[in-house]
Structure 1
Amino acid sequence: MAFFGYYAVARTGQPIDELTAVRRVLDAGVDGISAGTLEGRWSDGDWQLVVIYQGWGLDANDLVAETGAPALIVYVIESAVGVVEAATVDGGSWRACLNPDDAIRAFDFETDDAGTVAGTTELATAWAAAAGRTPNPETIATAVKQYVGPSGDGVSAFLIGLGFQFQ
């Protein structure tokens, strides 16, 4: 079964699934898309990861506004592509794709929207450093190239590359 949904990373002192931005996705459907289902929550110190099956409307800038810390989301489409949206407290934000070749070929993303492996790696590395993590650009680049997979292996590899060890 293909996975459609969110992986969201934020630094917060409360459970991430209690944040207003996350609750909005879990509590209400939008435009014919059903409300999201909480699949799990993990932590790495004050940083938390939440996985939400389906749902719509989660935004990294909303998480930053609510937590006062950098945030990153990955919206997975059919287990194949992950649309990454990252934001920092200084207002910087970016968007690109995990598995950009399939995003362009199978989902008709424009090249500028999908990004490149090199460009996404550079943006992700800078975001992780701004978030106080120790990124590994080689691991990030490898993850950006790979198929996301129904179990989110590509997203997990990407988060490890950013310097997270969620448990």
Structure 2
Amino acid sequence: MGFWGSFVVCRSEAPLDGLSAVIERHDGMQEHWRRAGGRAGGWQVGQYSGPDLADDASALVAELAGETGAPALTGFVLDSDAVHVEGFSVAGGHWKACLVREATEAYCEDDDEDFDAEFPSAEAAAHTAAAWASEAGRTPDLPGLVEVFAQEDSDLAEELLFRLLDELGV
């Protein structure tokens, strides 16, 4: 059985587990990483088990962006097979995408949502994610983003999320 849970990504000098947007929704971080950040340092990633953060991801990323003053992103991993990615920035607003599209679609079969409307194509997702990264002061790699969003196989989908962060320049 793979990992079920969320990764929360934000830029803040305050510890991630001390931000009220996260504390109000979850009682404990499993793991924590600080990412190399250059001139726009302070990027953090927290790993949280279970669906608690995913159930309210849209509000979470918006509140994190408000609390930290920087764009925020989450990735909800479904059994290490697929990832629902949600991001928010002040200028760009809320956006969604997925990693390992075919597996994500299989998990969403019972939803009454239009999958293609909810999760844009790899090309469209890459452009939206690149705009998010640019607003965050990062220099994204657009061809690399398209490649990550288009990838259809992965032993651990959460590894693709970390590759996505690399391509975003986070």
Both structures adopt the same fold (TM-score exceeding 0.5): yes
- Out of 28, 35, 39, the position equivalent to 2:31 is 39
8 Å contact kept, 2:29–2:46: no
How many Å separate the matches in 2 of 1:96 and 1:76? 12
Written as runs of structure 1 = structure 2, the 5 A alignment for 1:124-143 is 124-143=129-148
Paired with 2:168 and 2:24, the residues of 1 have a C-alpha distance of 27
Aligned-residue CA RMSD (Å): 2.0
Deviation digits for residues 116-167 of structure 1, max 9, x if unmatched? Answer: 1111111111111111101001221221123464472111111101012xxx
The equivalent of 1:33 in structure 2 is: none
> How far apart, CA to CA, are the structure 1 residues paired with 2:144 and 2:16?
26
Runs (5+) with no aligned partner, structure 2: none
Question: What secondary structure sits across from 2:144 in the alignment?
Answer: helix
Look up the match of 1:51: 47
1:13 offset after TM fit, Å?
A: 1.6
Residues 34-69 of structure 1, C-alpha deviation per residue, up to 9 Å, x if partnerless? Answer: xx5422232332221112122413421121121121
- Deviation, structure 1 residue 105: 3.4
Q: Which amino acid aligns with 1:41?
A: W
Aligned length: 156
- Structure-2 change in CA distance of 1:159 and 1:148 (3 Å): farther
Following TM superposition, the consecutive aligned residue runs of length 4 or more in structure 1 with deviations greater than 3 angstroms are 147-151
- Alpha-carbon distance between aligned partners in 1 of 2:17 and 2:29, rounded to the nearest angstrom: 11
TM-score by length of 1: 0.83
Cα distance in 2, alignment partners of residues 48 and 60 from structure 1: 14
Which secondary structure does the structure 1 equivalent of 2:103 belong to?
helix
| 1:91 Cα deviation from its structure 2 partner | 6.0
**What is the aligned counterpart of 2:166 among 160, 164, 167?**
160
Give how far 1:114 is off. 2.1
| Structure 2 partner of 1:19 | 19
Identity %: 31
Paired letter, 1:130 = E
Partners of 1:89 and 1:122 in 2: how far apart?
16
Aligned to 1:88: 89
